[in-house]
A and B are shown apart, each in its own frame.
Chain A
Amino acid sequence: MPQSQGIHAVVCIKQVPDATEVRIDPKTNTLIREGIPSIVNPYDLHAVEAAVQLRERFGGRVTVISMGPPQAAEALQKCIAQGADEAILLTDRAFAGADTLATSYVLAQAIHKLNQERPVDLVFTGKQAIDGDTAQVGPGIAARLGIPVLTYVCGIRSFSLEERNIVVERLLEEGREVVRARLPALLTVSKELNEPRYASLPSLIRAARYQVKIWTKDDIAADPNQIGLKGSPTVVGRIFSPPERQAGPRLAGPAPEVARKLVEQLRSRGIIAMGA
């Protein structure tokens, strides 16, 4: 009975440079990554939280995976502290230089393998990574796995392992959309979905002791033509800092005078109208 085993959720996470500290080298127009602390992509922490909450209700297992350099193991360990059960790092020199297409291929291959060990009910990703902002990897994985994709999820209304479906709210520009999908499905989540927990001390200790599992290209039977630079058709034409915006006009002086000037200017531009 699948029910007694609970859920198997896989969460794809990415280690990113802390955006609050990123700068662009004016000479080379590339990101200065040196010395900048790495964090788990903030949206991904909400994805881990969602998966862990479901596991707490239904039992089962949460597996976090990430494709990245060896130091990305740190980010996976952080997810263990947040309550995930297992963590796997997909790391191989042959993966280097991957764009979103090649990345989604590698992650999909890994999920495929996990699915053989134990059927996967839900795959989670953050809505986008804060370093690239493409929001393509989640949908890319879903397309390769041939499962429904629910993007910008801001709420989970219901989830049923027996009926094998999930009802979610999606955050759209014009409002919220409620949709149902059959399992297995892939969700990309937004920050509104939940509040990542303040990890307990026993979880932190478990994470500090946890050895992240390493999978290479051979472990996931990767097609050499679909990984790394070879599998990445994206070409970056140019990266540049947008020109700095000019500061607006400033009004100085005593408050009543400034207020009067402001009202005058707003009125003369037709932004506000005043009755007699």
Chain B
Amino acid sequence: MPEKFDVIVVGAGPAGITAAYCLAREGLKVILIERGEQPGTKNVMGGVLYRQMLDEIIPGFWKQAPLERHVIDQQWWVLSEDSALKVGQRTAVHDREPYNAFTVLRAKFDRWYAAQAVKQGALLITETVVTRLLRDTSGRVIGVETDRPDGQLLANAVIVSEGANTLVLEASGLRARPRADTMAVAVKEVISLPREVIENRFQLQGDQGAVIEFFGDSTLGMVGNAFIYTNRESLSVGLGAMISDFQRRRVRPHELLERFKQHPVVAPLVAGGEPKEYMAHMIPEGGYEAMPPLYGDGFLVCGDAAGMVIAVHREGSNLAITSGRLAAETVVEAARAGDFSARRLAAYREKLQASYVLQDLRQYRHTTPVIEKIPQFLGVYPSLVNRALQEFLTVDGVPKKVKEKKILRMILKERPVTALIGDAWRAWRAFI
């Protein structure tokens, strides 16, 4: 007879670790199953971790957790083939405790976070793959099966937090394989550089950090973006775009990354660095419309597995953490009532709706589809604005009046007035 737990959590990413932490803290018998050698070894996130959500769970976590740098400088660079239009902010407000966001290396961070869940009493099992959910004849989820000998376990509730690649949900008949136009693939390198070099190059002091997001030429105009984040002694450099775009354009992600690193304005930022790690991962970017069922009899779904990513704000880990916490709260209430039916677990959806998680996901539900349908957003405009600026900034004896006309002609040649207005309107709709 397999051992029975109150709750089984599938996958030790931010969502699963949070759920296990909160459940164990309430005294429930929890097992957290991770397929990687350690939590975090399979994770690829850039990444920027926002403080607020985790601070609610472990107050002051940022004083002990292995974080890289606190972010004081955020920039967005719009790239053409040879230039960059830069927008950004550096703020002293984010340089003050308790800080707004941190860069992290997930291998270190997840391991630390999982250890906190273990301290609360959660049982962590690594190097074990959950292969499917066990369901009784009525369809209720009653446990999991793993790839280990004697590998079944039973539970009152299973929290599925397996990340973007939802093999467990699919194998259990709870969702279909996601479509290629709802999935992005991202590649990332960790490039090591001496601390002083990073601090000079990005004008940082101590543990201050900078992050840059790149649009346009960095992904050949495909829907997606590239990024450079500063760690203590390395840079996280990567990019991602929709799988369907990669298929259509017949480019490989790692080739695109190599090309990006050689871009004339990017190359100096990464010069002299030694690549230490290379990783690839999927990001669910289908948004609100592509989400699987969030709960059912005996189970709940959190984080990336539930499609909780807001790509334009590079938010994912925070949604994962909040959804993990709300799933745990729901299960604690269900345990008190002794009822793990879908009707009872529906409280999870209500909690998500009352929080920023589903509200933000709803608000941005058009963003990716709209950007996808209007290729000029990331294809035409980045090079157009850069050419216009270049023209404007080049001092060559041509009178300004003539120059302005020339720029206008250049723009209108690419996009007629009506198209410009239409694009602006759709862009507005996409984000608001």
Chain B binds chain A: yes
Contact across chains for B125 and A200 when beta carbons are under 8 A apart? no
The smallest beta-carbon distance between B89 and chain A, in angstroms, is: 33
Contact across chains for B149 and A205 when beta carbons are under 8 A apart? no
Q: Is B148 an interface residue (CB 8 A)?
A: yes
The smallest beta-carbon distance between B232 and chain A, in angstroms, is: 12
Q: Mark A26-63, 1 if CB is under 8 A from B, else 0.
A: 00000000000100000000000000000000000000
Contact across chains for A198 and B148 when beta carbons are under 8 A apart? yes
Chain A residues contacting B123 (CB-CB under 8 Å) are 205, 208-209
Instruction: Please report the C-alpha to C-alpha distance between residue A200 and residue B31 in the assembled complex, in whole angstroms.
Output: 15
Contact across chains for B124 and A201 when beta carbons are under 8 A apart? no
Chain A residues contacting B148 (CB-CB under 8 Å) are 198-201, 204
Contact across chains for A205 and B37 when beta carbons are under 8 A apart? no
Given A37-B37, A205-B31, A198–B149 Cβ distance below 8 Å? yes
8 A Cβ contacts from A186-231 to B: 198-202, 204-205, 208-209
Contact across chains for A201 and B150 when beta carbons are under 8 A apart? yes
Contact across chains for B125 and A205 when beta carbons are under 8 A apart? yes
Q: Mark B115-135, 1 if CB is under 8 A from A, else 0.
A: 000000001110010000000
8 A Cβ contacts from B131-154 to A: 146, 148-153
The smallest beta-carbon distance between B107 and chain A, in angstroms, is: 9
Q: Mark B179-205, 1 if CB is under 8 A from A, else 0.
A: 000000000000000000000000000
Instruction: Please report the C-alpha to C-alpha distance between residue A205 and residue B124 in the assembled complex, in whole angstroms.
Output: 8
Contact across chains for A200 and B150 when beta carbons are under 8 A apart? yes
Instruction: Please report the C-alpha to C-alpha distance between residue A198 and residue B150 in the assembled complex, in whole angstroms.
Output: 11
Chain B residues contacting A200 (CB-CB under 8 Å) are 148-151
Chain A residues contacting B146 (CB-CB under 8 Å) are 201
Q: Which of A37, A198, A208 contacts B125, CB < 8 Å?
A: A208
Chain A residues contacting B151 (CB-CB under 8 Å) are 200-201
Q: Is B3 an interface residue (CB 8 A)?
A: yes
Chain A residues contacting B124 (CB-CB under 8 Å) are 208
Please count the residue pairs between chain A and chain B whose beta carbons lie under 8 angstroms apart in the complex.
32
Chain B residues contacting A202 (CB-CB under 8 Å) are 3, 150
Chain A residues contacting B149 (CB-CB under 8 Å) are 198-201
The smallest beta-carbon distance between A81 and chain B, in angstroms, is: 9
The smallest beta-carbon distance between B252 and chain A, in angstroms, is: 26
Size of A's binding interface in residues, CB under 8 A: 10
Chain A residues contacting B153 (CB-CB under 8 Å) are 201
Q: Mark B70-106, 1 if CB is under 8 A from A, else 0.
A: 0000000000000000000000000000000000000
8 A Cβ contacts from B1-60 to A: 3, 31, 37-38
Most chain B beta-carbon neighbours within 10 Å: one of A37, A204, A208: A204
Instruction: Please report the C-alpha to C-alpha distance between residue A208 and residue B123 in the assembled complex, in whole angstroms.
Output: 6
Chain B residues contacting A198 (CB-CB under 8 Å) are 148-149
Instruction: Please report the C-alpha to C-alpha distance between residue A103 and residue B125 in the assembled complex, in whole angstroms.
Output: 31
Chain B residues contacting A201 (CB-CB under 8 Å) are 125, 128, 146, 148-153
The smallest beta-carbon distance between A152 and chain B, in angstroms, is: 29
Instruction: Please report the C-alpha to C-alpha distance between residue A202 and residue B146 in the assembled complex, in whole angstroms.
Output: 11
Chain B residues contacting A209 (CB-CB under 8 Å) are 123
Instruction: Please report the C-alpha to C-alpha distance between residue A86 and residue B38 in the assembled complex, in whole angstroms.
Output: 23
Instruction: Please report the C-alpha to C-alpha distance between residue A209 and residue B153 in the assembled complex, in whole angstroms.
Output: 16
The smallest beta-carbon distance between A128 and chain B, in angstroms, is: 24
Instruction: Please report the C-alpha to C-alpha distance between residue A208 and residue B30 in the assembled complex, in whole angstroms.
Output: 12
Instruction: Please report the C-alpha to C-alpha distance between residue A137 and residue B38 in the assembled complex, in whole angstroms.
Output: 30
Instruction: Give the residue name and chain of the A residue nearest to B150 (CB).
Output: A200
Contact across chains for B150 and A205 when beta carbons are under 8 A apart? no
Instruction: Please report the C-alpha to C-alpha distance between residue A208 and residue B118 in the assembled complex, in whole angstroms.
Output: 10
Given A198-B148, A198-B149, A204–B128 Cβ distance below 8 Å? yes
8 A Cβ contacts from A237-260 to B: none
Most chain B beta-carbon neighbours within 10 Å: one of A198, A199, A205: A205
Chain A residues contacting B128 (CB-CB under 8 Å) are 201, 204
Most chain B beta-carbon neighbours within 10 Å: one of A198, A201, A202, A208: A201
Chain A residues contacting B125 (CB-CB under 8 Å) are 201, 204-205, 208
The smallest beta-carbon distance between A210 and chain B, in angstroms, is: 11
Chain B residues contacting A204 (CB-CB under 8 Å) are 125, 128, 148
Chain A residues contacting B3 (CB-CB under 8 Å) are 202, 205
Instruction: Give the residue name and chain of the A residue nearest to B147 (CB).
Output: A198
Instruction: Please report the C-alpha to C-alpha distance between residue A208 and residue B3 in the assembled complex, in whole angstroms.
Output: 14
Instruction: Give the residue name and chain of the A residue nearest to B149 (CB).
Output: A200
Q: Mark A112-156, 1 if CB is under 8 A from B, else 0.
A: 000000000000000000000000000000000000000000000
Chain A residues contacting B31 (CB-CB under 8 Å) are 205
The smallest beta-carbon distance between A88 and chain B, in angstroms, is: 22
The smallest beta-carbon distance between B288 and chain A, in angstroms, is: 37
Instruction: Please report the C-alpha to C-alpha distance between residue A209 and residue B123 in the assembled complex, in whole angstroms.
Output: 7
What 8 A-B pairs have minimum CB-CB distances, sorted nearest first?
A201-B148, A200-B149, A201-B151, A200-B150, A208-B123, A204-B125, A202-B150, A201-B150
**26 sampled A-B residue pairs with Cβ under 8 A:** A37-B37, A37-B38, A198-B148, A198-B149, A199-B148, A199-B149, A200-B148, A200-B149, A200-B150, A200-B151, A201-B128, A201-B146, A201-B149, A201-B150, A201-B152, A201-B153, A202-B3, A204-B125, A205-B3, A205-B31, A205-B123, A205-B125, A208-B123, A208-B124, A208-B125, A209-B123
Q: 8 extra interchain contacts, Cβ-Cβ under 8 A, other than A199-B149, A201-B149, A201-B152?
A: A37-B37, A198-B148, A198-B149, A200-B150, A200-B151, A201-B153, A205-B125, A208-B125
